[in-house]
């Protein structure tokens, strides 16, 4: 299945980071050194707009679905924090990463007035 020009550009930018396999060997389950969408946007010289972020996030999701990038969020993630990404070098690792933080900080709570 062919990649879009943007997907190819993203994979080229991710060459600047270690592969998922190298990162896992060095520091398993530590995603703080993985690429964030904003790093990719900066490397591509794209405008920092919501539309750009949405476009990049969609392209990254497709790359993850194709098994070309690992996608994970940190254990402690603030709501709205992006996933982190790394290139996968071994196709056996397709789908690597996780689907979201196991603990989410800063969830919105409704404050109700306590009746006394």
Q: In sequence order, what are the residues at sequence separation of 6 or more whose Cβ sits closer than 8 angstroms to the Cβ of residue 46? A: 52, 56
pLDDT at 105: 46
Confidence (pLDDT) at 76: 54
Residue with tokens 């476009």: 55
At residue 8, the pLDDT reads: 97
Residue 104: CB atoms within 10 Å: 13
pLDDT at site 1:
65
pLDDT score recorded for residue 33: 85
| The pLDDT value given to residue 100 | 62
Report the pLDDT value the prediction gives residue 108, as an integer from 0 to 100: 45
Closest-CA residue to 105 (of 83, 84, 74, 71): 74
What's residue 31's pLDDT?
A: 83
pLDDT-flagged residues of the chain (< 70): 1, 74-82, 99-116
Distance CA 63, CA 59 (A): 6
């Amino acid at each position: 299945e062919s990649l879009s020009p943007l997907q190819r550009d993203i994979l080229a930018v991710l060459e600047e980071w270690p592969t998922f396999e190298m990162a896992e060997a060095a520091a398993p389950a530590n995603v703080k050194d993985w690429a964030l969408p904003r790093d990719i946007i900066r490397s591509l010289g794209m405008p920092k707009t919501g539309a750009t972020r949405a476009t990049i996030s969609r392209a990254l999701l497709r790359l993850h679905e194709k098994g070309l990038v690992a996608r994970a969020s940190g254990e402690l993630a603030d709501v709205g924090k992006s996933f982190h990404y790394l290139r996968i070098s071994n196709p056996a690792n397709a789908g690597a990463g996780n689907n979201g933080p196991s603990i989410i900080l800063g969830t919105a709570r409704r404050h109700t007035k306590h009746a006394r």
